[in-house]
Amino acid sequence: MTPPRLLVIGDIAWDVLMRPSGDLVWGADVYGHVDLLAGGSAANVAVWAKRLGASATLVGQVGEDRLGELMLAHLQSEGVADFVRVVAGGQTMRIGVVVRPDAEHAFITDHSQPLRLTANDVPPMLLDGVDAVFLNGYAVFMAGSASFASALLAEARHRGILVAFDPSSFSLIRAYGPTKLLDEIGRLDILLANGDEARALLPGESLSGLLARAAVAVVKQGGQGATALHAEGTVSAAAEPITVTDTTGAGDAFDAAFLVEYLAHRDLARALGAANRLGGQVASRLGAQTR
């Protein structure tokens, strides 16, 4: 069987994980742990898809700085860096991740010098030989519009290539405007969102309304598993019990496993099961790309 071929478009970043031993003390100190780890939601998806045996091409940007050099070397070692562009004078994205003792986290995205994708970064030729295109909300929020991807997504639909989208962040969905976001992205084959993101996309409405926007709407629920809504009904899969260490990137790993398994077998239950397993594995470890 030919391995699935994914085109992944979006953000690349270094995660600065901060794990205080207790409550933060404003104006003073607290002991804990600080780690610098490879991340970025789209990069996580591409790296895990490649590790799962898929052909994965990552389209994104790093800055012309030391962190960019280190990230590019890392992504090259993972085999996904062919279309990662170094932006002259740019600054590689850094994301502060504060992880509570219960493993819940909050993100602080450095938006002082955002790296914005343009239509020149996603020419339609990237679709040659591709089975699916994955785009995330962070790329749209950073660019200020999904217009940079409009031509590529239209061509993907014309060719019958599966289009998948993860909206990334419920707070940024609300700030951007859920209707605006969904209108700009257009009709999807697969929507991958956690519960908070799904509700942010349809404030006050039933989640079944997502099917007006996507053929399959997957709702990730962490330790409660995941559900896929589609025209014929719903398919659910339970999550395996784990000891949660850090949930950073677990949803991205879920996306990668779901897409790889679904493209290979077109079986929603099987894809949800594979996605829950990998998402759980990542949540049980420190960092989004830790093996």
Residue 261: pLDDT over 80: yes
Residue 267 reports pLDDT greater than 80: yes
Instruction: Report the run of H or E that residue 73 belongs to, with start and end.
Output: helix 66-78
Residue 173 has pLDDT above 90, yes or no: yes
Question: Tens digit of pLDDT for each residue in 13-27?
Answer: 999 999 999 888 999
* Global pTM value: 0.96
DSSP code, position 254: H
Residue 231's domain spans which residues? 5-12+40-91+113-283
Domain annotation covers residue 135: yes
Give the list of residues 6+ apart from residue 183 with CB closer than 8 angstroms, or none: none
pLDDT at 105 over 90: no
Domain annotation covers residue 102: no
Q: How many domains does the chain have?
A: 1
Residue 251 CA to residue 123 CA, distance in Å, equals: 27
- What six digits make up the tokens of 36? 């610098």
119 assigned to some structural domain? yes
Average pLDDT, the chain: 96
- Considering the domain boundaries, does residue 252 fall inside one? yes
H helices present in 160-267, as ranges? 170-176, 178-185, 195-201, 250-265
Region 232-255 average pLDDT = 96
Tell me, yes or no, whether 103 lies in a domain.
no
Rounded-to-integer distance, Cα 91 and Cα 234, Å: 43
- With a cut of 90, say whether residue 93 has pLDDT above it: yes
Residue 214, domain member (yes or no):
yes
CATH at residue 199 = 3.40.1190.20
Euclidean distance between CA atoms 10 and 60, whole angstroms: 5
Distance CA 96, CA 105 (A): 10
Q: Specify if 25 maps to a domain.
A: no
Q: Is residue 270 part of a domain?
A: yes
Cβ atoms of 133 and 164 within 8 Å: the answer is yes
